Amino acid sequence: MDRRAFCTSSLATFALAGSLSAREASAPAERGRVITKGRLKQSVSRWCYGGIELDTLCKEAAAMGFHAIDLLDEKDWGVPAKHGLVCALGNGAGGIPRGFNRVEHHDELVNGTLRLLPIAKAAGVPSVIVFSGNRDGLSDEEGVANCITGLKRIAGAAEKEGVQVVIEYLNSKVDHGDYQFDHMKFGVDVVKGVGSPSFKILYDIYHAQIMEGDVIRTIRDNHEWIGHFHTGGVPGRREIDGTQELNYRAIAQAIVDTGYTRYMAHEFVPSRDPLTSLAEAGALCDV
């Protein structure tokens, strides 16, 4: 299911987990600062907190010590700055099933991305997201080659504007059936083929764990090709706590140890009070 479609269909299901009482919304600072070291710049994926107004989410996140908000549409790119945050990752052109692996999509995606890049720069958005698209019978070799052809058309503009473009690793086993960039080799081959310092992988740890596991080794071996991270508990994309199978403190430490200086965004859907879950995740990954 498309992330945006999932968000829309899930708002009612997760209303309790994604909403705030009037008392909670009026006192964001009461939770206290949980991120104090800040060696890993942490962000919050907007769609997981759809029941909370964006300004309130930004205020709460800033009070906890978060640096940024992820996955905002163009119209909202300037909102985090009002609260001392940035939009670390802006939504780009196209969508999850319809990506750069199909030549027939290139003109639309390239033109859309070229329009967004200077807007992102002006808004202080350091990265925008793109997708491989679904396989629909395409071989990996064809998909890689087509992605390289299309993405090379935007690489120069991304370098000129100083905005990073990241292609996301998603799982095709549980959430995004038939998505093509569902193993690390595909993304690394694309990034190497494009050959631009402004084009990298969005390594989504939740998705990568479902497909291949071996997360820390993969990060260490491929950190030069990675420009952004997402988190999420496995199984179920819930909290990154003791209820799931990954050790996120160790993962966060491994990321910091590579010298990585960009953002890691929490992209889990809270199963309980959303801001308590977010605060706990922030503290856990503050290595």
192 exposure class (CB count in 10 Å sphere: 0-12, 13-18, 19+) = exposed
Burial class (CB in 10 A: 0-12, 13-18, 19+), 242: exposed
Here the tokens at position 14 are 């997760």
20 lies in some domain: no
Q: Is residue 52 part of a domain?
A: yes
Smallest CA-to-CA distance from 207 within 238, 247, 237, 251 is with 237
Between the alpha carbon of residue 125 and those of residues 50, 120, 176, 197, 233, the distances in Å are 21, 5, 26, 17, 26
- What's the pLDDT at 275? 97
Name, in order, each residue with C-beta under 8 angstroms of 61's C-beta and a sequence gap of 6 or more: 44, 69, 83, 85, 278
Stretches in the chain below the pLDDT threshold 50: 1-2, 4-29
pTM for the whole structure: 0.91
H or E segment to which residue 281 belongs: helix 274-284
Identify the CA nearest to 181 among candidates 132, 142, 228: 132
Radius of gyration for the alpha carbons in the chain, expressed in angstroms and rounded: 18
Instruction: Please return the burial class of 216, using the count of CB atoms within 10 Å of its CB with bins 0-12, 13-18 and 19+.
Output: middle
Q: Tell the residue number behind the tokens 């992330």, with chain if given.
A: 3
- Look at the chain and report how many structural domains it folds into: 1
- pLDDT tens readout for residues 8-36: 344 333 433 444 443 343 333 456 999 99
Residue type present at position 11: L
The pLDDT, as a whole number, for residue 20 is 47
Residue 71 lies in a domain: yes
Which domain does 182 fall in, by range? 3-11+32-284
Q: Using CA atoms, how far apart are residues 17 and 238, in angstroms rounded to an integer?
A: 11
Residue 63: which CATH number? 3.20.20.150
Asked, for residue 26, whether it belongs to a domain, the answer is no
Q: For residue 37, tell me if it sits in a domain.
A: yes
- pLDDT at residue number 3: 54
- The pLDDT of residue 249 is 98
> Residue 23 falls within a domain, yes or no?
no
